[in-house]
A and B are shown apart, each in its own frame.
Chain A
Amino acid sequence: MIPFDYAPASDTDSAVATVTARPGAAFLGGGTNLVDHMKLGIASPDLLVDVTRLPLDAVEELPDGGLRIGATVRNSDLAANPLLRSRYPLLSHALLAGASGQLRNAATTAGNLLQRTRCSYFQDVTTPCNKREPGSGCAAIGGWNRYHAVLGASEHCIAVHPSDMAVAMSAADAVVTVLGEEGERRVPLGEFYRLPGDTPQYDTNLAHGELITSVELPPLPAGARSGYRKVRDRASFAFALVSAAAVLVTDGGHVREARIAFGGLAHKPWRATHAEEALRGAVLGEEAFRLAADAELRYGQPLPGNAFKIPMARNALAALLRELAFVEERR
């Protein structure tokens, strides 16, 4: 680890100004991903501006019934928040499906959004990786790619985004509030992340020095049920092979509206707009659920190591929709 300076932020404006002015500076939240990256040699900031003592740790009710989640709210506190649990079951479930109790006590909302891929080649500085070292190549293509992308990947990078929380936030139409030197801007989650293309070193559309201050959730539609389903290699404390988040509004035996996002399939939470379109007005049932999944997954381009993700994602989404549509009270 290279030496670095440490400075607790006194206010958001000066934190933004400090990091913007210094190319090697980074914000420090819970540190659960960044400190590990500094140990591994993936990140080498020369200044850490600690934002955890800024007054960004509240969960507030918005006038329209939505919620504003402060950037430094810890994942465990957010998952346990009574308003979040009653209004956004998909998000509480996704948070609790991620990491471990100790990590959730430290990890922040903004840090969760900004965590980086767990691609084993990205995390191993002895191997080529275009995300870590642009132009060096991609060891995952043709390598061990069981965990990698089947949608939206490029010839330069097939990494997936690891967050569970972000997948639920995508289905919930979350909006990220970002503070930069020019002031504040609001970025819908759908425009927050990038596909890898030929610049996989950039995970998001944030500029250096921009600081996430909150995430806003609009109210879910009246009568909506929502949930999250995660499939992984062990029962707990593992990243997703595949996950699905859904918001479902039904009307009689039909789907009135569905919002769906997949995790584990792409470089970003994958909002499944083709599946949503296929479900609109459909008769509730196994056939519609599977057709909807296929409407999205037919664009999949699996590799030899991860072709199982296509049927796995189809089954995960169908099971989740079945649960939301037909099971009286889901866990």
Chain B
Amino acid sequence: MESHLTLRVDGEARSLTVDTRTTLLDALRDRLSVTSPKKGCDHGQCGACTVLLDGRRVLSCLILAVAHDGAQVTTAAGLAPEDGELHPLQRAFLDHDGFQCGYCTPGQICSAAGMLDEASAGHPSLVTPVADGDGRSDGHVRRGPAALGDDEIRERMSGNLCRCGAYVNIVAAIREVSAQ
């Protein structure tokens, strides 16, 4: 079964007809030639395909394109404010040498961008101390953005694997942007 849909990809409206079986990742890469998100495991275990879908980080390999007609998709290539400029996370990954082969990098950067927004919105992680953000009985939760420590960054980024093992520098890059 085929379906017609429109996606707004990195700020540009793109219309296409897809077989219902097409994942968002395959629609981006194979149909729209948007090759920034990478196909690593294709089973939701590595994070290389991470994009921002309507502003939230998700795994595009486990999402059916047909279910997201009209959605806004941001890839690592579309994060920069203008052509020729770099997003602070892109700059920091360069400055800190946050990669070796670079295959996981677009997913790392998209995931970090989504993660920093989540932290700013007061979303806890498994290692967030209760006292720092626990809800009170009146429903009030203290909101971020507190600078994230290394434990927080590692836990919140655990869905992005780097088989070159550039984790130390990835954490440093994200820590720098988190503190800005």
Contact = CB atoms under 8 A, between A and B. Distances in A.
A152 B64 CA distance: 36
A52 B160 CA distance: 25
A331 B167 CA distance: 25
A2 to B, nearest CB: 8
B130 A331 contact: yes
A99 interface: yes
Interface in B50-84: 50, 56-59, 62-64, 66-67
B14 interface: no
Interface residues of B, number: 50
B100 to A, nearest CB: 21
A102 B124 contact: no
| A interface, size bucket | 35 or more
A114 B126 CA distance: 23
Given A96-B124, A103-B59, A236-B126, A329 B131 contact: yes
B1 A101 contact: no
Which of B20, B67, B156 has the most chain A CB atoms inside 10 A of its CB?
Answer: B67
Interface in B129-160: 129-131, 133-137, 139-141, 154-160
B62 A6 contact: no
A126 interface: no
B64 A31 contact: yes
A279 B159 CA distance: 38
Contacts of A89: 130, 134
A83 interface: yes
A163 to B, nearest CB: 16
A79 B1 CA distance: 36
Contacts of A84: 135
A101 B174 CA distance: 16
Contacts of A85: 124, 133-135, 141
A93 B135 contact: no
Given A86-B139, A96-B125, A106 B59 contact: yes
Given A3-B19, A86-B137, A32 B62 contact: yes
Contacts of B63: 31, 35, 106
A1 interface: yes
Contacts of B176: none
B59 A329 contact: no
A96 to B, nearest CB: 4
Contact of B118 (A50, A76, A87, A99): A76
Given A6-B67, A76-B123, A103-B159, A82 B111 contact: no
Interface of B, helix, strand, loop or mixed by DSSP: loop
A205 interface: no
Nearest to A93: B126
Contacts of A246: none
A39 B42 contact: yes
B40 interface: no
Contact of B67 (A31, A79, A92, A102): A31
B6 to A, nearest CB: 15
Contact of B58 (A28, A36, A106, A236): A106
Contacts of B128: 331
A35 B21 CA distance: 9
A50 B67 contact: yes
A100 B47 contact: yes
A186 interface: no
A322 interface: no
Interface string A10-53: 00000000000000000010011001101110000000101010
Interface of B: 1, 3, 19-21, 23, 42-44, 47, 50, 56-59, 62-64, 66-67, 111, 114-115, 118, 121-131, 133-137, 139-141, 154-160
List the 3 closest pairs (A to B, CB-CB), nearest first.
Answer: A100-B159, A82-B135, A236-B158
